[in-house]
Each structure stands twice: as structure tokens, then as C-alpha cells.
Amino acid sequence: MYKPKDSSLSPRFCGVRTFMRLEQVKTTENVDFVVMGVPFDTAASNRTGQRSAPQHIRNFSVLLKPYNPDVDINIFDHCSGVDYGDVDVIPGNIHRTYDKMVSEIYPILEKGIIPIIMGGDHSISLGNLRAFYKAYGPIALVHFDSHGDTWDNYYGEKYMHGTPFRRAVEEGLIDVEHSIQVGMRGSLYSPADLQDARDLGFEVITMKEIRQIGMNEVLERIHRRVEDKKVFVSYDIDFVDPAFAPGTGTPEVGGPTSFEALEYVRGLKGLDTVGFDLVEVLPSYDPGEITAALASSIIFEMITQVAVKKEAEISAVLERNLPR
């Protein structure tokens, strides 16, 4: 069983930085989840530096503790996890980077382990989805973002951080009838920028609609859309209002608070989530590590969901084995 160092016995400033002070071990034995980084930012269209995000998030995450009071669960009573390190990306070559991602992530999925992946810009999600398709076939997508990332191209380039989900649909990686995008807002070039995602088959809930119907209804719509399908969750930090997450490349005002950002992850309880990425954290625009604090907490909530799922699976097995 792998679990974090106890910071009541070992000061947080001691040792090599890993996520939540987990052991840095590249193993698929005796683990339920792995945290890993994909420090690639060559496909960003505005500010760059997302390659430094995995370590930036790790640096702050040493403050995290194993018990989640909002869910009332001690994570490591129910599951085991490690910091798997980073994929050795190829700066400037997105296609070779995608190949490396698939070769690193697929063996993890083969063992039924849940990878929790820190970007990097949002282009990495296409590499993630290729690995998941290889393991599971087309998969449902829950996408939290202020942008749909379904453009056809940037500057004539097909593989950028604003195009991964169009490419994923074209490649047949996503079960689009069970996929949903949440949080879209901000200025656009034309109505087609938002309509494109719907034309591809996604359900889309804009931020304005979220404020009209409320978070509970949004979460119900997510669950209705996904049903019992295996799901990959992609979380762009710019989903959150820049007042709470300033460290990102393309911020959009009018988004959720940090509390709401965490509640959306908690609200995924009951979905068959098999993977997660958090992308677009930009350390150079993150005063006081505000964004790192939120990003590490979002990942903590996702790890919590792994523990909740594991606890439910064990309880179901025990119940089936009870004498009738």
C-alpha cells in the first residue's frame, strides 16, 4: 500500500517534491491511481510556460492531508497511489509526444489503474484520449472549460490547444452521445465557435446557463448524459474565474468560484470515472501560488473520488457475499 509521508512526523520542506508527498515510484503494482505530469506547452496559442505546471502543482500539494472532511473519507484507508513522474515529452513535436503519452499511459490502463494527469496545455488531452481508446474503446467525456476546444485549426495548424476535442471526435475516440462540455463563456469570433461543439454531438452548458439553472441541475445533466459509460474528465483551470485561478494562459472572467470548482468534482460521485486531466496552469502568472493551491485541491478531490469508488466496490462485494 502506497500512501503519502506523514507531515506530522516529517516536515513538508524535507525531501524531493512529489504530489501530496506520495512516493515517486514508476509502478503498476499494488496501486489504484497514479499522478503523472505531461509538461508540454508547444501547442499553446497565447501565453506559454504550462510545461512548468506539474512541478508547480506538486510544490504546493505538500500541504494536502489524507482525510477529506467534505466527503468524510480517509483516502488511503481505501486506495493506494504513487507519483508516477512525468512523460518525457518532445518539445516542439506534438505527434511524437502523443506517441510517448500513449506508450506511457496505456500500460497503466491495462492494469485498471486510474491515471490523474497534470498538463501541460490542453492539447495533451488528445494523447490521453488515444490511450484510453486503446484500452476501452470510445469513452464518454466530461469537459470543464471556458472554451470548447473544438476549433478546426489555429493558424492553419490542426493540433493546438484549441482543437483536441474536434480531433478526438474525428478519430472516433469519444462516445460523443454521452459527452458534455460545461462552463463555456467569453467573446468569440462568431456563433459558430460555440455551435461547432453541438454540431459535433456534444451537449454544451454555457456559464450563463449554469447561473440560470444552478449547479445541482448541471450535475444532474452531467449524470444523465454520461449514464453508466466509462468517462474521462478533462478540467481546464480556466473553467474557474481568474479571480480564483489567475495563473492560466487564456483567462475568461465570469466563471465559478474556487468552492464551486471543487463541488463540481465532488458532484461526479457515482460516475464510472477511469481517468482525469487538469491542464493550462501557468506558474509565471500565479501570484502567491493561488492557482497551484486550487489545482492541487481539484486533483485531491479527484483522488478522493477514486477512494469513494473503491470503498463502494468493496462494500458491494461484501454485501454479495453475506449469507442470505
In a domain, 125, yes or no: yes
Residue range 155-182: mean pLDDT, rounded = 96
Is 10 among the domain residues? no
Residue 161: helix, strand or coil by DSSP? coil
Residue 202, in any domain of the structure = yes
What gap in Å lies between CA 40 and CA 251, rounded to an integer?
A: 19
Pick the more confident residue, 133 or 191.
133
The count of structural domains within the chain is: 1
pLDDT single digits (tens) 141-158: 999 999 999 988 888 889
pLDDT exceeds cutoff 70 at 318: no
pLDDT digits (tens, 9 = 90+) for 61-76: 999 999 999 999 999 9
Mean pLDDT along residues 195-200:
94
CA distance 18 to 60: 10
pLDDT-derived band at 18, boundaries 50, 70, 90: very high
Region 95-120: mean pLDDT is 97
Encode pLDDT of 75-104 as tens digits. Answer: 999 999 999 999 999 999 999 999 999 999
Q: Is the pLDDT of residue 321 over 80?
A: no
In terms of pTM, does the model score above 0.85?
yes
Structural domain range at position 167? 19-315
CB atoms within 10 A of CB 99: 14
Q: Let me know if residue 266 belongs to a domain.
A: yes
Q: At 176, which CATH number?
A: 3.40.800.10
Q: What is the mean pLDDT of the chain?
A: 94
In a domain, 324, yes or no: no
Examine the pLDDT at 324 and tell me if it is beyond 70: no
Q: 120: cis peptide before it, omega within 30°?
A: yes
For residue 195, being part of any structural domain is answered with yes
Structural domain contains residue 95: yes
**Domain assignment present for 78:** yes
Q: Is the pLDDT of residue 323 over 70?
A: no
Burial label for 13, CB within 10 Å (0-12, 13-18, 19+), is exposed
- Express each pLDDT in 275-297 by its tens digit: 999 999 999 999 999 999 999 99
| Residue 165 pLDDT > 80 | yes
User: What integer pLDDT is reported at residue 3 of this predicted model?
Assistant: 82
pLDDT at 14: 78
- What does each C-alpha distance from 33 to 7, 25, 310 come to in angstroms? 21, 12, 11
